Structure 1
Amino acid sequence: MNIGASLAPRWQHVHADWWQDDRGNDIHRVDIDDESLYHCHLTGSPLPWNAVATSLDEAMAVVDERPNGQPGTGPD
């Protein structure tokens, strides 16, 4: 499996379709037909996911632009 992204030290590849950073934010890959979507869940959010991306790189960037991974707080 080539995920197309080298993981930053703050991220770990927990399972085949699951990544988590050192703040507890999660990214889950969901394969539908021939397309992969990356659902981002921010720590402390009551929502099942806070954003959807089309690549792991994009998903990590979405999570990383939130200060402390808090939902709805905007970029650093």
Structure 2
Amino acid sequence: MLDGDMSYTRHGRKIGRPDKGDRDVLYTRVPREVGDAIRARAEETGMTISDVVAAFAADALGMSHLAPRPAPAEQEELPLKTA
């Protein structure tokens, strides 16, 4: 991401989601039941679908240290206003 794409506070600090590092984009199709299970896991853990799939892949490949993990339970979800 270019610095021009990142928003800054008036104190010069970056705002937004922290960088997750170098990533590769993969596309796949899974059976409906698998997709439903992934969506359910994402909902129950508060993770994105992409992070759930990445965690499953990293764990299955013996690279658990690279797997995204859910945010700690003590963090509260901020309410978002809808348009």
Q: Could you state the TM-score of these two structures normalised by the residue count of structure 2?
A: 0.29
**Structure having the larger proportion of residues in helix:** 2
Q: Could you state the TM-score of these two structures normalised by the residue count of structure 1?
A: 0.31
